Amino acid sequence: MTIVELKNKVIHKISQVNDDALLADIYKLLEENFDDSDVYQLSEKHKESISIAKDQINKGDYFTNKQSDNDIEEWLDK
């Protein structure tokens, strides 16, 4: 299916919708994907948490994916 065909199918489906809430959700979804002006601003708490996490990584104080997977497997086996 080409992008033009897909767009036409989406437009056709949307034109058949009579549910206000669903249309509002679709609109919101489309707006979020096209609105590049909104930049998420981190709070000071988020920035502090990121800084702590970076320090932990630099000190080697973390688990690898393999270690985490092994721990989860052990927990699930209990």
Question: By the 8 A CB rule, do 62 and 56 touch?
Answer: yes
pLDDT given at position 41: 84
pTM for this prediction: 0.42
Reported as a pLDDT band with limits 50, 70 and 90, residue 62 is very high
**Average pLDDT of the chain to the nearest whole number:** 90
Which of the two residues, 31 and 9, has the higher pLDDT score? 9
pLDDT tens by residue, 20-41: 999 999 999 888 776 566 667 8
Q: Where are the domains of the chain?
A: 3-34, 44-77
